[in-house]
Amino acid sequence: MSGDNDGGNDYKVGYRRPPRHGQFKKGQSGNPSGGRKPRKPIADSRPIKTIADVLYEELQQEVTVRENGKKYKITKMEALVKGAVNQAMKGDIRPLKLVQGIEPVLDSSLKATDARDRERADARERVTEKLEALSRRLQMRASGND
């Protein structure tokens, strides 16, 4: 193949020299018969999560542990605390300090989640009040026109 001539002009086909019939034509390139690549959505509809939210969700997942020959299902948070306490009993208190450092982050995440839930409930209540007021006005107009 490397010695094949494809058309005149002493054009040699080989490494980094594709046959002329396989090259792009002038003014044309790519995949002319193929469709365009789909566009990615600009904004994701999922709410933005903080690191604390992701950490909390991860620590709430259940894992299976074996203690004294029996299997138990506990959350990862419980497993983390058990492991830290066991290490502390052996004299290594660093994991226990790590757990203590995580606690304020999780507390702030829970407080933020509660605040967001309260905001949503307040917004729902305001919308409900507006709908009830609109309903009363429509009923008054309907009864006044009869």
Q: Which residue has the tokens 């542990």?
A: 65
3-state secondary structure of 113: helix
CB 95 within 8 A of CB 83: yes
Kind plus residue range of the DSSP H or E element containing 72: strand 70-75
* pLDDT at res. 117: 74
Name 58's Cβ contacts closer than 8 Å, sequence gap at least 6.
76
Question: Model confidence over 76-98: pLDDT tens digits?
Answer: 988 888 888 888 889 888 888 88
Question: Model confidence over 5-59: pLDDT tens digits?
Answer: 545 578 899 998 999 888 888 877 677 777 777 777 776 666 777 777 788 888 8
3-state secondary structure of 114: helix
